[in-house]
Amino acid sequence: MKSDNKPSVCVVGLGYIGLPTAAVIARAGCKVLGLDVSQKVVDTINRGEIHIEEVDLDGLVHGVVSRGLLSASTEVAPADVFVIAVPTPFDKNHAPDISYVLAAGKTIAPVLKHGDVVILESTSPVGTTEQLRDMIAGMRPDLKVPGLTSEIPDISIAYCPERVLPGRILEELTNNDRSIGGITPRCARKALAFYKRFVRGECVTTDARSAEMTKLVENAYRDVNIAFANELSIVSDKMGLDVWEVIRLANRHPRVNILSPGPGVGGHCIAVDPWFIVHGAPEETPLIRTARGVNDGKMHHVVAKAEALVEAHPDAKVACLGLAFKANIDDFRESPARFVASRLARKFGERIHIVEPYAAELPIEFTDTGAVQIDIDDALETCEIMIVLVDHDVFRVVPLAERADKLVYDTRGIWPDQPRVVREEEARLKLVV
């Protein structure tokens, strides 16, 4: 790679992180090959279309594909920089599964050449980048790899976690700061030079293991803090307090900033990544483990409370507002709202009406339950009970006049002016859990 030339790039994995990353690198003028195991995904992208929803991604991908800067394939090809962005799930015992990372390494190893840079972006347990390096070293004994040679290595290997927020991926890909952890300082510098081409945020270099842990810590920090808010909401239920009022007041303290309770923690990151730390140090992580339990337990608390409310009003129609895992996105994976709504649909059938503007149809588990999908206007017209599960803007803006006579269970605190009917109901029905 000549320093004045733009490097050619291969992005392995064209999912929620890989595709936007590939598109942003291509926009910076680098020729990018996106690699995916799915022929369908590859065909979609080569048509200039996308298979995931993310703000402004469709226009960007269409643009870079039509300018010839981004193409996709199931077959690897030589490149100057390889960016690995594949999933790292966990198994039923919460043990991290890095097999996709190692499979990506196996795919690219045969085409690596002198001067190449390999960057792992997938959220990974500490030590994964070194495992990737060891695997490449095993497959390519002809290459001098970093950390295993006293000479200048032929290739550079670094870990640089993504930290973008779904719904704001393109903006955050460019503007967020990045931690870049090299197997050696030289590796970190090589990766830094690459990220500088398209990242406006500050790029801070460190070692690979620290960067791996940093990513896990960021999401565990958020999980623990959401757990605190969720625990407060359960305590407030028990004490007959309005948790939103308590948090609002407490947050007026200059050094207090409590997050928002909700129906639980969804998505693929915050509910997963803390387990990678727990798995690495089971004896030393009671707080992180407990936070996971509190956040998972909140879903069941919400189900119990909602069921009691619906049971107490046998003639009322019920609207469940939202299925997404968080506000204003169309991502329903690992969603607590979806879990709660489907439990209610299974139990109460046609009394349950689902409002989800981001879903064209109801997910599979609603089939044969009798539950139907309606829009927010119909829900306000026909349903007496409203269970707020997602804080989509379209729900938030409903004025009090249109919902004042509803029986509302607001798990997200979007309607602070709602009369406290549910709480009075709880007292009457002794529903407080």
Q: Contact residues for ligand SAJ (CB under 6 A)?
A: 123, 162-166, 218-219, 222, 226, 259-260, 262, 265-267, 269-270, 325-326
- Cβ distance to ligand SAJ smaller for residue 21 or 123: 123
Q: Which of 308, 92, 305, 97 is nearest to 297 (CA)?
A: 305
Q: CB 263 → ligand SAJ: shortest distance, Å?
A: 8
* Residue 314 beta carbon to ligand SAJ: minimum distance, rounded to whole angstroms: 31
Segment (H or E) for 252: none
Query: Residue 7 or 266: which CB sits closer to ligand SAJ?
Result: 266
Structure tokens at 150: 């006293």
Cβ 336 to ligand SAJ shortest distance, Å = 6
Residue with tokens 């959220």: 123
Q: Which is nearer to ligand SAJ, 44 or 219 (CB)?
A: 219
Q: How far is residue 132 from each of residues 21, 55, 208, 304, measured CA to CA in Å?
A: 21, 32, 11, 45
CB-based contact 268:325 (threshold 8 Å):
no
CB of 293 to ligand SAJ, least distance (A): 15
Q: What is the DSSP string of 121-167?
A: -S---TTHHHHHHHHHHHH-TTS--TTS-SS--SSEEEE----PPTT
What size, in residues, is the chain?
433
Q: What's the order of all strands across the beta sheet hosting 203-207?
A: 70-73, 32-35, 9-12, 81-84, 117-120, 156-159, 178-182, 203-207
- What minimum distance in Å lies between the beta carbon of 80 and ligand SAJ? 26
Instruction: Let me know if 190 is a catalytic residue.
Output: no
Exactly one of 10, 187, 269, 383 is catalytic; name it: 269
Give the CA distances from residue 6 to residues 69, 118, 299, 398, in Å, rounded to whole numbers and listed in that order. 12, 16, 49, 50
Nearer to ligand SAJ, 334 or 365 (CB): 334
Nearer to ligand SAJ, 73 or 260 (CB): 260
Nearer to ligand SAJ, 69 or 354 (CB): 354
d(CA 346, CA 370): 8
Sign for the pseudo-dihedral over CA of 393, 396, 401, 404:
positive
In the set 10, 31, 190, 215, the catalytic residue is: 215
Rounded to whole angstroms, the Cα distance separating 60 from 65 reads 9
Is 430 an active-site residue? no
Nearest distance in Å: CB 253, ligand SAJ: 17
User: Considering all CA atoms of the chain, what is the largest pairwise distance in Å, rounded to the nearest integer?
Assistant: 78
Catalytic residue IDs: 215, 269
